[in-house]
Amino acid sequence: MSLNQTVKTVKPMSCKQEQFYVVSPEELERYINEHFQPASDLEYQVDQECGSDDVRVFEVTGKSDAYTRGKTARFVAGEPTSLVTGYLLDELAAKGALPKGSYLVK
Distance CA 106, CA 104 (A): 6
Domain definitions of the chain by residue range: 21-105
Neighbours of 57 (CB within 10 A): 13
Q: Cα Rg for the chain, rounded, in angstroms? A: 19
pTM beyond 0.95: no
Q: How far from chain centre, in Å, is Cα 41? A: 17
Q: What are 62-99's pLDDT values in tens digits?
A: 998 999 999 999 998 888 889 999 999 999 999 999 99
Q: What are 9-65's pLDDT values in tens digits?
A: 899 999 999 999 999 999 999 999 999 876 678 999 999 999 989 999 999 999 989
Predicted pLDDT at 2: 59
Which residues neighbour 69 within 8 Å (Cβ) at sequence distance 6 or greater? 91
Q: Is 30 within 8 Å of 14 (Cβ atoms)?
A: no
